[in-house]
Amino acid sequence: MPTAGAFATDTRRTRHGARRYPIGAELVEGGVSYRVWAPARGRVAVVLEGAGEYPLRAEGNGYFCGIAPGGAGTRYRFRLDDDRTLYPDPASRFQPEGPHGPSQVVDAAAYEWKDHSWKGVPLAGQVLYEMHVGTFTPEGTWAAAACKLPLLRELGITVIEMMPVNEFPGRFGWGYDGVNLFAPTRLYGSPEDLRAFVDAAHGLGLGVILDVVYNHLGPDGNYLSCFTRDYFTDRYENEWGEAINFDGPNAHGVREFFITNAAYWIEEFHFDGLRLDATQSIHDSSDEHVIAAIARAARQAAGERKVLLVGENEPQHTRLVRPPEAGGYGLDALWNDDLHHSAMVAITGRNEAYYEDHEGSPQEFVSAAKYGFLFQGQLYAHQGKRRGEPGLDLPPAAFVTFVQNHDQVANSGRGLRFHALTSPGRARALTALILLLSGTPMLFQGQEFWASAPFLYFADHKPELADAVRRGRREFVSQFPSIADETMLRLLHPPEDPATFMACRLDWSEFETHRAAVALHRDLLRLRREDPVLAAQKQAGLDGAVLGPEAFVLRFFGENGDDRLLLVNFGRDLVRASFPEPLLAPSAGGRWRLLWSSEAPEYGGGGTPPVETEKGWRIPGHAAVVLAPETGGASQPVEGVPG
C-alpha cells in the first residue's frame, strides 16, 4: 500500500547518545527510531495513528529499523509483509488500550529522578515484602500504593517485591500471564507513575525489586509468533504453555529480547533487582545459561548500585545462587518452599498433596534453620524422584523464608491467610520463627496486620479462555483431598469474576484495628535489626536441638558467650525439671533472662511464666520466647517484655 514517506538514515542515535536498547521505539533527533526483530518476515512497516505508514529498512539479520516523525505519545503498530492486521510492538513501552491496542512512544528521559544518591540494596539484612499493586490498596494504583510506603518503612520492611507489572489482558490478574514485557500495565497507572513509586520508595530508604516471568508468555495478546515462531520451542515441556527458545535456531534474537528486558527494568525504572519466576521452566543448554546472562546484564545495568536477584526454583537447584566462576548462575537468593511446607504442616496438621514429604516436626525446623533447604538431593516421594542440590555451604541469607506468598495463600482453596488456619498463639510463634531466622524473611501484603482479606487466584479472560482457566484451577487444587471434596469445590471462587478480585483488596483500616498484630511484626523486626546477635546472619551462626514432640531450641552464637536462645513450642506447655541438652546451658556463671515473648499482652498473648528457674523449665505452649544472658541482651528494651 502507499506509504507516507521514506525514512531518513537510521543512525541509531538518541538524544542521550548511542541507542539505548536494541529493540523498541526511542526518541531521536527529528522523530522516533523504531527497531524490531522479525526474521520470519520480508517487509516490516510502522503505521502511525493518523500520520501514515513508513517502511523499515531490513538490516539482514532479522532486524528492521528506521526513523519516522513523531514524539512522546505517538501511537503506532507494525505491518508485517502485506498483512491487513496491524500488530503492537513486541518491545512496546506502553499499551494504553491493553495488549491488543496500539503501542505508544514514551520519553524515558522526561521523569526527573530524585534518587541520585541511592546506592541500591545488597542481600544482607533485607526484609522483603511481596506486593500485588492491584489489590494492595482499594484504588489499585502505583500512586495509592506509594502513600502506604511510610507505614511499611516504619514497620521494618526494607525491600518491596512487586508482583509482575508488565501488560496483560483484561481488567485484573496476577500478572503472570503477561504479554508485553517492556510495558508497565495501564491498569495501575502510567510508566511515570511507576517511576514515581520507585523514586518515593528510595526516598524512604526502601528498595524495590520486580517479579519477572521469563519462562512463558500469556495465551491472550501474545503476538510474538506473528513476528517469528523462533520465540518458542517444542523441545521442552512447559506446564504453562509453549517454552521459550533460548538455545535453538535463531535463539540469539530471543535471548537478546529477554536479557534486554532485565536490563531495561533496572536502568530505566531504577528497580533494585529482580525476582525470577519458576526458573525451572527456563530451559537452556547454551554455554552460558540465559539466567546467568540475565544476572550479568542486570548488574551491568545497575552500574555502581547494588542489585538483589532472587529466584523461584521448585527443584531447589542451588547452582542458581553460586557464582559463574563456580558453574553457577549468579543469583543472590532462592525462595525456600521447604520451610514453608514444614511450617504449614506444623500449624494446621495437614500434610496433603505437595506437603506429604513434610511432618512439621521440630527437627525439620532445626535443619531448615541450619541448612536452608531440607531436600538437597534425597528422594522426594511426592514426585517419585530426587529433589534438590547440595547447599550446606550456602550463607543463610541466600534462603528467602516465608509462611505466606501469593501462590501458597491462594492454594489453600479459600485463599485464607495462615493466621486464619491455626490458633493465635501458634500464628504468633511461627511469625517469630520466620522473622528471627538467619535467612532473608519475606512478608506477603497484609500479613503485617493479619489482614482478613483472602488472596485468591483471579484472572480476567475472554469467556472461552476463562472457562479453561477455571477448569485448570479446579484440577490443580483437587490434588488436596480435602479440597477435592465436592462441597469444597463448590466454594471455589471463579477466577474471572470481578468479585473474586475485589475480595482480595486489603482493608487498610485493619492496620489500626489489628494493632496487636502490627506491634508483633514491628517489635520482631526491630529485634532482628537492632540485636547484634540476631542481626548477624553468620555462616554456621546457630545450632538447634529438639526439646519435645512440638518444641525446639535455636541458639544464635554471639561474641564472648553473648548468645541468644529462641525457644519455639507449637504444642502444649513443656514442663521439665531438667533438659540434658548443652545448647540450653548459659554462659559460665550466668543465667538466662527473658528478652522477648510472643505471649506478651501487647500482641494479644496471655502472659509468659518464668521460663527457667531453679526448679526447672516451663516452655509455654503455642509460643516463642527469646532469652539472653543476664549480662548481655539487646541494646534497647523490647516492647511488652520485662527487662
Top pLDDT among 168 and 491 is at 168
Distance between alpha carbon 59 and the CA centroid of its chain, in Å?
A: 38
Report whether pLDDT(634) > 80: no
**How does pLDDT run across 176-187, given as a tens digit for each residue?**
999 999 999 999
Concatenating the DSSP letter of every residue in 487-541 gives: HHHTTPPPTT-HHHHHHTS--TTHHHHTHHHHHHHHHHHHHHHH-TTTT---TT-
With a cut of 60, say whether residue 8 has pLDDT above it.
no
Confidence of residue 291 (pLDDT cuts 50, 70, 90): very high
At 330, give phi and psi (nearest 5°).
Answer: 85, 15
For 16-50, the pLDDT digits (tens) are 345 799 999 999 998 999 999 999 999 999 999 99
What is residue 412's predicted lDDT score, i.e. its pLDDT? 83
pLDDT at 553: 98
Q: Using alpha carbons only, give the angle 467, 102, 161 rounded to the nearest 5 degrees.
A: 65
How many other CB atoms are there within 10 angstroms of residue 6's CB atom?
Answer: 10
Q: For residue 622, what pLDDT is reported?
A: 98
The pLDDT of residue 566 is above 80: yes
Alpha carbon 203 to its chain's center: 22
- pLDDT of 430 above 90: yes
The secondary structure element, H or E, covering residue 332 is none
Answer whether 458's CB lies under 8 Å from 173's CB.
Answer: yes
33 with 14: CB under 8 angstroms? yes
DSSP-H helix ranges across 372-457: 406-410, 424-436
pLDDT, mean over the chain: 94
Distance CA 309, CA 295 (A): 7
Domains, the chain, ranges and CATH?
Answer: 13-104 (2.60.40.10), 126-212+395-530 (3.20.20.80), 213-333 (no CATH), 539-629 (2.60.40.1180)
Checking if the pLDDT of 302 tops 90, the result is yes
* Catalytic machinery residues: 277, 312
Q: What is the pLDDT of residues 498-524, one digit of tens each?
A: 999 999 999 999 999 999 999 999 999
State the pLDDT at residue 642.
Answer: 41
323 grid coordinates: 557464582
What was the pLDDT predicted at 484?
87
Nearest to 341 by CA among 401, 395, 257: 401
As a three-state string, the secondary structure of 91-148 is CCCCCCCCCCCCEECCCCCCCCCCCCCCCECCCCCCCEEEECHHHHCCCCCHHHHHHH
Q: Please tell me the distance from the alpha carbon of residue 103 to that of residue 78, in angstroms, as a whole number.
A: 9
Give mean pLDDT, residues 327-354.
97
pLDDT for res 489:
87
Predicted confidence at residue 587, as pLDDT, reads 85
Q: For the segment 237-272, what is each residue's pLDDT rounded down to a tens digit?
A: 998 889 999 999 999 999 999 999 999 999 999 999
54 near 3, Cβ under 8 Å? yes
**Which is nearest to 574 in space by CA: 631, 622, 508, 639?**
622
How far apart (Å, rounded) are the C-alpha atoms in residues 34 and 16?
Answer: 16
Q: What is the pTM of this model?
A: 0.95
At residue 440, the pLDDT reads 98
What backbone phi and psi angles, to 5 degrees, belong to 12?
A: 55, 45
C-alpha cell at 27: 526518541
What average pLDDT score do residues 626-635 get? 73
What's the confidence (pLDDT) of residue 364?
98
pLDDT in tens, 215-226: 999 999 999 999
Ramachandran area for residue 128 (φ above 0: left; ψ -120 to 50: alpha; else beta): beta
High-pLDDT (> 70) share of the chain, %? 95
Long-range contacts of the stretch 247-253 (C-beta < 8 A, 24+): 247/283, 247/284, 247/285, 247/286, 247/290, 250/39, 250/62, 251/286, 253/37, 253/39, 253/62, 253/63, 253/228
DSSP state at residue 427: H
Does the pLDDT at position 82 exceed 50? yes
User: CA angle at residue 167 from 250 to 229, to 5 degrees?
Assistant: 20
Question: Phi and psi of 287, rounded to 5°?
Answer: -60, -40
pLDDT of residue 639: 53
